Chains A and B, each alone.
Chain A
Amino acid sequence: MFSDVFHRLRALLRRTTVEREMAEELQFHIDRQIEAYRRLGLDDAQARRSTRLAFGGLDQISEDVRDARGIRWLDDLLRDVGYAFRTFRRLPGFAAMALLLLALGIGATTVMFTVINSVLLRPLAYPEPDRLVTLHGFTEGFGESWGASYPDFLDIQRESRTLTMAAWREGGGTISAPGDPEYVDGRQISAELFAVLRLRMSQGRPFLRDDDRPGASPVAIVSDSLSRNRFGGGAAAIGQRLVFEGISYTVVGVAPAGFGLDGELEVITPLGENTEPRMRNREARFLHTVARLSPGAELSEAQAELAIIARRLAAQFPASNGGRGMRARPLQHDVVGDIGSTLWLLLAAVALVLLIACVNVASLLLARGVSRERELATRVSLGASRARVVRQCLTESGVLGLTGGVLGILVAAASLRPFVVFWPGALPRAAEIQLDWRVLLAALALSLASGLAFGLAPAMRVPMGRVEGALRGSSGTIVRSSRRLHSAFVITELALAVVLLVSAGMLARTLVTLASLDPGLNAHNVLTARVALSPSALGTPPEISAAWQDVLDRARRVPGVESAALTDIVPMREGENSVPYSISAAMPPPGQAPIALASSVTPDYLKVMGIPLRAGRFLDEHDGLGSEPVVVIDDTLALHAFGRRDVVGRQLWVPTMGAPVRIVGVVGHVRHWGLAGDDRSRVRDQMYYSFAQVPPSLLRTFASFMSIAVRTNRVPLDIVEALRRDLRGASNDQALYDVRTMEQLVSGSVARQRFLALLFSIFGVVALFLACVGVYGVLAYLTSQRVREFGVRMALGATPRDVTRLVLRQSLAMITVGAAIGAAATWVAGRVLLTLVDGMRAVEVSTVTTTTAILVIAALIASYVPATRASRVDAMTALRQE
């Protein structure tokens, strides 16, 4: 085995030496044999002739020896590759065109595949990531929801034998020492988290069980970057003091560099230290969970066990857990979310472009192949086997494909970062996106495969039975069959281009429709931001209320601010608070009550957001802790629950507000889930209640949700700096974060649709251009083959117009068939888009007809040039040509 490889390698790498040695060896034999014959008495000439007879043909023997060395096919391959490169150098225009097409097609496909590979396919960066799951609650009426409550988590963690579980929740806050005050992202985690993920700390230790309980002495883990920025990196942070949210923590560990759960984070504190009331509330499902399957346990066993635990909890706590199931899902699925469909959609579109590029290159090669027919026929008649000639053709297109592929990979490497940056919002796992060997291998395989695919058609046309005909130049039959193949290419290209163009048209139309939808509020000149109150303000409920009032007062004094309000949820931004309600005292069983989105706001909210008041009044200063609990509902809830809009004065039972509450007003519906997503969302009913009526015990919890919204009389982003400065407060450590204008949020809610529409338009235009190039190239080639025929026709009395019309009719036939097939195929593409894109409109006949018309006109223009050229054929020259 080793010897075999060694000798093949030597034969390959030291070819000249090996060749020389072989020649010397054979020559030695021949000389000795001649000598032997002469010793037998033959004269020189006789001895040589006898030797030749006894030895055999030297060339033939040399070839056989080369074969025996086992590198014959490689030799041929290298020779063919060299030949291919020489051919391409002789035809720089052809080669450049083909390579450009391939580089673009393969480059775009590689970018998409890289992103898909990094985001969807590559396992998460934890050991044995496929054994990590996350838990989802489940009810009959509302499907899955991600959260778990802390008591439920503790029960499941204790009872499960198939899972080791950890939980975390958002826990950002303000660091006030060491260094400048700053709001940072953070998480509160249960002690097991790092063990479940199997991550080692970069420095120090993870949390212990004993840290993770009420009353434990406060300890924290900090991120690698925070450790470097504030403590000087390395082990220096361990044992240091960190003042976070006004509490002094001892740093016990530094997380591994780049550690993040669902985003970057700086400070990690133990979940169990938290003593908020909702930590004891089984209905407050705000925890994220992650669990690892125990050794030997399967996902199905975990599901079965979770079902049993959920049933037990439902029986024991019917009020909170009745009708609730529990499911485990692979963690990867959760991290990536619903981004997958968009990525696959883009990959499909890009693959269509690549396909068009391949068809184009194939028709270029075919055109060349036909003019090469004589060369190939000559080779066959000189004794080359058909397989050998086919192999040579395939080698040529393979070389073309691979070269295009290498260029394509360069294109992809250059455009990967811009693409990721350009992606609307945050692409999950964006930092992990990179070209890896898997992608490179796939790209090279793809380019080789496309090379072979578009080389196949020309290669299969290597003449065999018709060698004589081809040599004699009576190429009528050849042209006729190649014309059919060329037409097939053009038809395919046009059909694919129609699919892409119509898809782009549909997306653009969807975007226009979405943009013209009324968001339900006046987004012009509104600025929103989350506010992190000073940790020192988070004392008694009256102190917290006073701090918020101070924030509002300060904001109102900022120049340019017309009105200001607080709210716990901002439309079209992440975050929600869904509550069940009923229109009678008899609550439906858990999981079956209607759900509404409940916002806790201050009185000016309606004015700031520009939401229309339909009936009654909005919340005002008189709605406070001492007065009757009131809500304002939107007209969607009114129609849904009461069947009419005029419901002011009616009552609503909302368990989370200590039911019942009085409806004092009806306002317009706001598209909270985005322009595109709102129509399909589960929770469309909306209600507003007064921030002043939030129970004092919950004020501290609410502090982490609240945002400020201001209406300005100038460009809102201009006042951000002043607002930030003035809101720092008396202790100078209040921070604004997540600053957005309402217009950004509205436009962001259709960002994915806009991104898709833009990319599809680019793809569509590229496809249109490629298809026109294809039509032009094929017709130019076909008419050049028919010059003689045109000459005859004109000699017999045809006018130039007749010839133009002849060519155009031929091309129109191809174009019509291609467009018809493409229009039929758009029905399928439309269905796919409809299911994958939020707010997508069905295929409209007008979109199909408009885009198809554009394509037909462009294709006709492309065929006009060859047609007029054909009409200028001079009859006599054409006839003399052959």
Chain B
Amino acid sequence: MDDERLDLPQGALDLLILKTIALEPQHGWAISERLHQISGATLQIRQGSLYPALHRLERRGWIKARWGTSDNNRRAKYYELTQQGRAQLGDRTDAWRRLTTVVGLVLDSR
């Protein structure tokens, strides 16, 4: 199973997390569900690996956490973007686009 997983390049998971919570605060499970829905079976992210990333982003101050009540009436930790996180999301999205374009160009060239 590990072998079939598409390894995410360094920083990509961070970018996906930032994008996922850009609209509204989400808790960890919701983030993982949403990533799964959008990417379908292509991205096999082990759900647990989300959490080290979340805690790292929180430490960096790009996201902040707040305890709230989930739809099934349980205490859950909701993550939302900080201003710094929002800026990072913009920068990193641009960088990612440029990178993939360049990599695509090189791969397509004859």
Contacts and interface: CB of A to CB of B under 8 A. Distances in A.
B77 A25 contact: yes
A54 interface: yes
B52 A3 contact: no
A419 interface: no
Contact of A65 (B27, B55, B74, B76): B55
A2 interface: yes
In the A-B complex, list the 10 residue pairs whose CB atoms are closest, starting with the nearest: A3-B61, A56-B48, A61-B48, A68-B52, A64-B52, A7-B59, A68-B55, A68-B56, A32-B29, A29-B29
A26 B60 CA distance: 21
Contacts of B53: 68
A54 B56 contact: no
A621 interface: no
Given A21-B77, A24-B75, A61-B49, A68 B59 contact: yes
Majority SS at the chain A contact face:
helix
A266 to B, nearest CB: 64
A64 B59 contact: no
A422 interface: no
Contacts of A25: 27-28, 51, 76-77
Interface in B30-63: 32-33, 46-49, 51-53, 55-56, 58-61
Majority SS at the chain B contact face:
helix
B106 interface: no
A55 B75 contact: no
B23 interface: no
Given A53-B1, A56-B48, A65-B55, A28 B61 contact: no
Interface in A38-95: 53-58, 60-61, 64-65, 67-70
A33 interface: yes
Nearest to A1: B61
Nearest to B74: A28
Contact of B49 (A33, A35, A36, A64): A64
Given A28-B77, A29-B51, A65-B51, 13 more contacts: A7-B58, A25-B28, A28-B27, A28-B29, A35-B72, A61-B48, A61-B49, A61-B51, A64-B49, A64-B51, A65-B52, A68-B56, A69-B59
A34 to B, nearest CB: 11
B59 A3 contact: yes
B59 A2 contact: no
Contacts of A338: none
B79 to A, nearest CB: 10
12 contacts: A3-B58, A21-B77, A22-B51, A25-B76, A26-B48, A26-B51, A28-B28, A36-B33, A55-B48, A61-B48, A64-B51, A68-B55
A763 to B, nearest CB: 52
A8 interface: yes
Contacts of B52: 61, 64-65, 67-68
A33 B27 CA distance: 13
A4 interface: yes
Given A53-B1, A61-B52, A64-B51, A29 B32 contact: yes
A294 to B, nearest CB: 52
Nearest to A21: B77
A878 B75 CA distance: 66
B73 to A, nearest CB: 12
Interface string A186-222: 0000000000000000000000000000000000000
B47 to A, nearest CB: 5
Nearest to B56: A68
Nearest to B46: A56
